[in-house]
Amino acid sequence: MDLQLNGKLALVSGSTAGIGYAIARTLAQEGAAVIVNGRTQAAVDEAVERIRAETQGTVHGHAADLSKAEAAEETVRRFPGINILVNNLGIFEPKAFEDIPDEDWQRFFDVNVLSGVRLARLVLPDMKRADWGRIIFISSESAVQIPTEMIHYGMTKTAQLAVSRGLAESVAGTGITVNSVLPGPTKSRGVGDFVKDMARASDKSFEQVEAEFFEHVRPTSLIKRFASPQEVASLVAYVASPLASATTGAALRVDGGLIKSAF
Ligand code: NAD
């Protein structure tokens, strides 16, 4: 299938590793010019080189903390005409509810929600002028099944669904679509490191910790394993494509069947 992404310019926030990296690489493979973003120049340079080598695509690098207003504004000034925005950057941290201070609630909101809201607001005028655009929020199954071990994270992922749906309705009748994608547990760099640390601390193998995680912590998973970042990226690339023009205002799952609902 040709995803018809030639000539499109895509920004993927937080794309030097994990799910964001896989999305940036896949969009580049499918012909989009891609802006790779991370917080350090070294990480950005490395990711750009790898994606260029793997795809022979057009890849720009942009080191910036996109959870900050000035950085977001500067990014959109430097790269006018963004056609595809993937709001991927996000943080997680297991913490008991009683131990989560106000500052953590605020930080999670700022990084996971407001960063994407702001970037969407900044790219929307160009998308409206072109009467075409794709805005995709990388939410999580945790938006629906709030993890008791990180309720603040769940709150941010649910908020993304609200913003995404509301924004889709606000651009009804245009060529712009807005969707959220809900990955399940995915073996990104962040999660991979987390599981490796748990395995080391309990003297178990990665596979043992993975099996126990899906038996006790996420027992409703139907695939009983972490998804790969590529499995998430494949869905995102389709949603970013002109072929997905009738898919908007949706919360699309790539959760390994973890959410216990057919809809
Ligand atoms: P990750 O930690 O592996 O990678 C995140 C990337 O974002 C890194 O390159 C990091 O440097 C970058 N980043 C973080 N904060 C940034 C900032 N302020 N500015 C610019 N770059 C920044 O993360 P991941 O697991 O791939 O998660 C990506 C997204 O997917 C997040 O929104 C997360 O909530 C969501 N998600 C992940 C999983 C999972 O199991 N991995 C499941 C559901 C949803």
Buried b (16+ CB within 10 A) or exposed e, 203-222: eeeeeebbeebbeeebeebe
**How far does the centroid of ligand 1 lie from the alpha carbon of residue 11, in Å?**
14
CATH fold, domain 9-184+227-254, is Rossmann fold (3.40.50)
**How far does the centroid of ligand 1 lie from the alpha carbon of residue 129, in Å?**
30
Options 92, 108, 153, 214, the catalytic residue: 153
Residue 118's identity, in one-letter code, is R
**How far does the centroid of ligand 1 lie from the alpha carbon of residue 43, in Å?**
14
What are the domain boundaries of the chain? 9-184+227-254, 187-226
Q: Which one of 12, 16, 19 would you pick to mutate in the ligand 1 pocket, going by the greatest count of ligand atoms within 8 A of its CB? A: 19
pLDDT at 263: 86
- Residues 202, 209 contacting (CB under 8 angstroms): yes
Nearest CA residue ID for atom 11, ligand 1: 38
- Residues 88, 129 contacting (CB under 8 angstroms): no
Question: How many angstroms separate the CA atoms of 109 and 14, rounded?
Answer: 16
- 181-217 per-position pLDDT tens digit: 999 999 998 889 989 999 999 999 999 999 999 999 9
Q: What phi and psi, each to the nearest 5 degrees, are found at residue 61? A: -115, 145
| pTM confidence score | 0.97
Q: Which one of 137, 188, 228 would you pick to mutate in the ligand 1 pocket, going by the greatest count of ligand atoms within 8 A of its CB? A: 188
Residue 235's identity, in one-letter code, is L
Atom of ligand 1 nearest to the CA of 65: 19
Residue given tokens 């072929």 in the structure block: 243
pLDDT at 165: 98
- List all residues 6 or more positions away from 130 whose beta carbon is below 8 Å from its beta carbon: 81, 83, 175
pLDDT at 194: 87
Distances (CA, A) of 79 to 61, 84, 134: 11, 12, 16
Selection from 68, 64, 159, 65 nearest residue 105 by Cα: 159
**How far does the centroid of ligand 1 lie from the alpha carbon of residue 263, in Å?**
26
- 216-226 per-position pLDDT tens digit: 999 999 999 99
Atom of ligand 1 nearest to the CA of 142: 43
Atom of ligand 1 nearest to the CA of 226: 40
pLDDT band at 40 (very low <50, low <70, confident <90, very high): very high
- 66-109 per-position pLDDT tens digit: 999 999 999 999 999 999 999 999 999 999 999 999 999 999 99
153 flagged as catalytic: yes
Atom of ligand 1 nearest to the CA of 141: 43
**How far does the centroid of ligand 1 lie from the alpha carbon of residue 173, in Å?**
32
Task: Report the pocket of ligand 1 as residue ranges, CB < 6 Å.
Answer: 13-14, 16-20, 37-39, 65-67, 88-92, 111, 138, 140, 183, 185-186, 188-191
